[in-house]
Amino acid sequence: MAPGMALPIAVAILLAIYAARAAPALCMYGPESAEQTKHKGRGMGEKNPRWALGLLLAVGWLGAHRFYLGRHASAVAQLALALLCAALWLWGGPVARYAPYLLGPILFWLIRDGFWLFDYFRVEEDMDSRLSAFAQSQLDEQASLPASKAPVAAAPIPASVAQPAVAAALPADSPPRPATDPQTNKKALAIQMAQKHIGDALARRDMHTAHAEADTLVRYLAQRSRKPQSDPHLAMAYLLQGMTFYQTGDLDVARKKLQMGVHLGAAFAELAQPVQQAQLFLQRLRSPTMAPGASAAPALEPGQYPLLMQSRDWAQALALCEQTIALRQAGHDADAPDLAQHYLHAMEIAQHLGDRDRQRVHGQALLALAAHEGAAVPVAMRRQALERLGDLCQSDEDHQAATAHYAQALALVNVRSGGRNAAAQALALCALLQRMASSHTALGETAQALQCWQRLVLYVDSFDRLDQQGQRMPDPEAVSSMLTDYAAFAIRHQPARVKPLVQQALRIQQRSCRGYSLAAARAYEVFADFLAAHGQTEARRSYLKKALLLVQICDPDNSAHLQQLKTAIREAA
Amino acid sequence: MSVQGLFYALPRHGLRALLVEPSAMDDYLQRSAEQGGPLAMLDQGSWWQHDMQRLPEIEPGVAVEGTLAQHCWAWPADVVTDSAQGLATISATQLVQRMHAWQKAQDGAPADIDALRLWVRRQAALRSFWQAAAQRRDAVLLYVV
Query: Which residues on chain A are in Cβ contact (under 8 Å) with B76?
Result: 549, 552-553, 556
Q: How far is CA A362 from CA A193, A328, A348, A442, B117, in A?
A: 53, 14, 10, 27, 73
In angstroms, rounded to a whole number, what is the distance separating the alpha carbons of residues B104 and B98? 10
Give residue A535's region: left, alpha or beta (phi > 0; psi -120 to 50).
left
Say yes or no for a CB contact (<8 Å) between A553 and B19.
yes
Say yes or no for a CB contact (<8 Å) between A516 and B16.
yes
Say yes or no for a CB contact (<8 Å) between A513 and B79.
no
pLDDT score recorded for residue A121 = 85
What ipTM does this complex have? Answer: 0.90
CA A11 to centroid of chain Cα atoms: 60
Coil vs helix vs strand at A45 = coil
Distance from CA of B65 to the nearest CA of A (A): 11
**Stretch 509-538 of chain A: residues touching chain B, C-beta under 8 Å:** 513-514, 516
Query: Which residues on chain B are in Cβ contact (under 8 Å) with A549?
Result: 62, 76
Q: Cβ(B79)–Cβ(A552) under 8 Å? A: yes
In angstroms, rounded to a whole number, what is the distance separating the alpha carbons of residues B54 and B58? 10
Distance from CA of B20 to the nearest CA of A (A): 5
Query: Which residues on chain A are in Cβ contact (under 8 Å) with B15?
Result: 553, 556
CA atoms within a 13 Å half-sphere pointing along the CA-CB vector of A243: 32
Say yes or no for a CB contact (<8 Å) between A556 and B79.
no
Query: Which residues on chain A are in Cβ contact (under 8 Å) with B16?
Result: 516, 553-554
A553 reaches B (C-beta below 8 A): yes
In angstroms, rounded to a whole number, what is the distance separating the alpha carbons of residues B47 and B24? 26
Say yes or no for a CB contact (<8 Å) between B16 and A553.
yes
In angstroms, rounded to a whole number, what is the distance separating the alpha carbons of residues B4 and B40? 17
Give me the DSSP letters along A444-486.
Answer: T-HHHHHHHHHHHHHHHHHHHHHHHTTPPPS-HHHHHHHHHHH
CA B97 to centroid of chain Cα atoms: 21
Ranges under pLDDT 70 in chain A:
1-45, 142-183, 287-300, 331-334, 375, 415-420
In angstroms, rounded to a whole number, what is the distance separating the alpha carbons of residues A244 and A238? 10
The one-letter amino acid code at B57 reads: E
How many CB contacts within 8 angstroms connect chain A with chain B?
29
Task: Tell me which residue in B20, B78, B139 faces A562 most closely, judged by beta carbons.
Answer: B78
Name the CATH code of domain B5-144 (choices 3.40.1760.10, 3.30.110.60, 3.30.70.100, 3.30.43.10).
3.40.1760.10
Closest residue, chain B, to A514 (C-alpha): B20
B11 reaches A (C-beta below 8 A): no
Element spanning B72, H or E: strand B71-75
Task: Tell me which residue in A516, A556, A562 faces B13 most closely, judged by beta carbons.
Answer: A556
Coil vs helix vs strand at A145 = coil
Per-residue b or e along B62-75, where b marks 16 or more CB atoms closer than 10 Å to that residue's CB: bebeebebebbbbb
Say yes or no for a CB contact (<8 Å) between A556 and B62.
no
Strands B138-144 and B5-11: antiparallel
B25 reaches A (C-beta below 8 A): no
Tell me whether residue B108 is exposed, middle or buried, using C-beta atoms within 10 angstroms of its C-beta: 0 to 12, 13 to 18, 19 or more.
exposed
Q: How far is CA B66 from CA A469, A518, B22, B62, in A?
A: 23, 22, 6, 13
Coil vs helix vs strand at A227 = coil
Query: Which residues on chain A are in Cβ contact (under 8 Å) with B61?
Result: none
- Beta partners for B142? B7, B73
Q: Cβ(A385)–Cβ(A347) under 8 Å? A: yes
Query: In chain A, what are the domain boundaries?
Result: 3-139, 160-286
CA A322 to centroid of chain Cα atoms: 27
* Start-to-end Cα distance in chain B: 10
B-interface mutation test, from A542, A550, A553, most B Cβ less than 10 A away? A553
> Which contacts (CB < 8 Å, 24+ apart) does range A114-123 have?
A114/A56, A117/A49, A117/A52, A117/A53, A117/A56, A117/A65, A118/A27, A118/A28, A120/A52, A120/A69, A120/A223, A121/A27, A121/A29, A121/A49, A121/A52, A122/A28, A123/A216, A123/A219, A123/A220, A123/A223
Q: Cβ(A435)–Cβ(A406) under 8 Å? A: yes
Closest residue, chain B, to A549 (C-alpha): B76
pLDDT score recorded for residue B137 = 92
B16 reaches A (C-beta below 8 A): yes
Q: Cβ(B7)–Cβ(B140) under 8 Å? A: yes
Say yes or no for a CB contact (<8 Å) between B76 and A514.
no
In angstroms, rounded to a whole number, what is the distance separating the alpha carbons of residues A20 and A500? 98
Tell me whether residue A523 is exposed, middle or buried, using C-beta atoms within 10 angstroms of its C-beta: 0 to 12, 13 to 18, 19 or more.
buried
Residues whose CB falls within 8 Å of the CB of residue A424, separated by 6 or more in sequence, listed in order: A474
CA A288 to centroid of chain Cα atoms: 15
Q: Cβ(B144)–Cβ(B5) under 8 Å? A: yes
pLDDT score recorded for residue A182 = 62
Query: Which residues on chain A are in Cβ contact (under 8 Å) with B9?
Result: none
B13 reaches A (C-beta below 8 A): yes
A554 reaches B (C-beta below 8 A): yes
pLDDT score recorded for residue A550 = 96
Distance from CA of A460 to the nearest CA of B (A): 23
pLDDT score recorded for residue A516 = 94
Q: Cβ(A519)–Cβ(A509) under 8 Å? A: yes
Class of domain A160-286: mainly alpha
Closest residue, chain A, to B74 (C-alpha): A553
A380 reaches B (C-beta below 8 A): no
Coil vs helix vs strand at B140 = strand
Coil vs helix vs strand at A173 = coil
Helices A49-59 and A3-26 pack at an angle, to 10 degrees, of 150
pLDDT in tens, B115-125: 888 888 888 88
pLDDT score recorded for residue A202 = 78
Q: Cβ(A130)–Cβ(A220) under 8 Å? A: no
Question: Phi and psi for A398 in degrees, rounded to 5?
Answer: -95, 75
Say yes or no for a CB contact (<8 Å) between A552 and B20.
no
pLDDT in tens, B2-39: 688 999 998 899 899 999 999 888 888 887 766 666 66
Give me the DSSP letters along A284-309.
Answer: HHHSTTS-TT--SS----GGGHHHHH
In angstroms, rounded to a whole number, what is the distance separating the alpha carbons of residues A182 and A180? 6
B-interface mutation test, from A477, A552, A554, most B Cβ less than 10 A away? A552
